[in-house]
Each structure stands twice: as structure tokens, then as C-alpha cells.
Amino acid sequence: MGNGIAFLFGAVFNLLANVNLFFLLDYTMQAIVGGVICLAFKILGDILSPLWQKQKERVKNFTRLKKAKSLRLKRKRSHNEE
């Protein structure tokens, strides 16, 4: 088993000798920054989405109320004209 461990370490160090560590560091930094940006957009969306839905409901209710008031006014005018 001792030779197997020596072979494993030799293979790993041989591969590390041929790897550009600056490329790996650059790739790691890009992945971390991209992940943080993606997470920030996700959190922002999770926070703003319920607020946006609530605002849409308020606008929808306001327009319904406004239409109902205008219908009542039209009915009153039509009854007064008769």
C-alpha cells in the first residue's frame, strides 16, 4: 500500500506542476463574484416581488373602485334625467 500512496502523491504533484494556478485563481474569483451577484439579484427579487404584487393589487382595487363610482354617478344622472 505504501507504493500506492507514493504513486498517488506523485500523480497529484505531476498534475499540479502542469496546471496554471493563476488561471484557477482567476476562475475561482469569477465564480465567486458571479455567484454573489446572482444571489443578490435573487434576494432582491424575493424582497421586491411581494411588494410589487401588493402594489398591483392596490392599483387593481383602486381602478375597480373608480369604475364603480363612475357607474354609480352615471346611474344617478340617468335616473335624474328621467
For residue 15, the Cα-to-chain-centroid distance in whole angstroms is 38
Indicate yes or no: pTM above 0.95: no
Q: How far apart are CA 3 and CA 39, in angstroms?
A: 46
For 5-16, b/e burial (b = at least 16 CB within 10 A) is eeeeeeeeeeee
41-81 confidence digits (pLDDT tens): 999 989 888 888 888 888 887 777 766 666 665 665 555 55
Residue with cell 444571489: 39
Domain with 22, as residue range(s), is 2-81
Domain count, the chain: 1
Count of CB atoms situated within 10 Å of the CB of 78:
9
Overall average pLDDT of the 21-31 stretch: 89
The pLDDT of residue 74 is 60
